Structure 1
Amino acid sequence: MATITLKGNPIETVGELPAIGTMAPEAALTQADLNDILLADLKGSRLVLNVFPSIDTSVCAASVRAFNQQAAQLDNTKVLCISADLPFAQARFCGAEGIENLMMLSTFRHDVFGSAFGLTIKTGPLAGLLSRAIILIDETGQIIYTEQVPEIAQEPNYSAALTSL
């Protein structure tokens, strides 16, 4: 389990991020149209997984905006923004913000993603949501970069992640 903080208070996740060089675990996620998609369905493209607790917080929203601008312009790369928010809330946010360059995906129907990637928060006020992390997966499904953000209220290191691509 990873220990991270929420405004300085320790909280724990159910596990650790998968190791760099390993194959990404398989998981289903729910799209805005309520259809499910598997990570395996996206093989052949590089994947940026921007994982966060809720789109309705300022830091989570900032990460979606940043990746919409920075990573979505990369060749053969799909940016997946993943949270436990309902797809309706994700779509409302993207519509209000004019965000069109990424995929919003939800774990509300399937909790396998959070446990498979070690990201589900198991203690504290955000228990059951996902911790903030960045995971990059290459075209073959291999993990090439991970960042477990140590403080939930902190943005990820965008430049380190994008440089890894």
Structure 2
Amino acid sequence: MNQVRKADPNNKTVAENRKARFSYEVLDTIEAGLMLTGTEVKSLRQGQANIQDSYASVEGGEIWLINSYLPEYLQANRFNHEPRRRRKLLLNKREMAKLSQSVDREGMTLVPLKIYFNEKGRAKLLLAVGRGKKLHDKRETEKQRDWSREKGRLLKERG
């Protein structure tokens, strides 16, 4: 019997950076924890976040998420958080060394792909190591996407 699965409330995507896969060639992804305050977690649980214009940077041996937007939690009092503050990413030393090496030596960029809650209810960030695409690469990606759509339509009409 087919059962309809409900969306798992613990493994929920809060924000996704769809533009990143178009603008960057993603070479590797790493899951990182986020150091958040209580009101930021509550705001995330309401499904409010924006990581479209954000990026990660290596500073002082630590990795920071910069320019991400988590709106203020409306039910909070005067101890609310700043919406665009820098947030520290929680990674192992090995992972931090690998990421900082790829950014420094190879000219890569750290791009956040999505913020979500894992099975344990912890806020996680999927961080991509990528290289910026040139204009002709973006056009090629768009052509491939359009052709796959058209191919699907043709197969659907025939089959």
Please give the TM-score of this superposition, normalised by the length of structure 1. 0.29
The higher radius of gyration belongs to 2
Greater helix share, structure number: 2
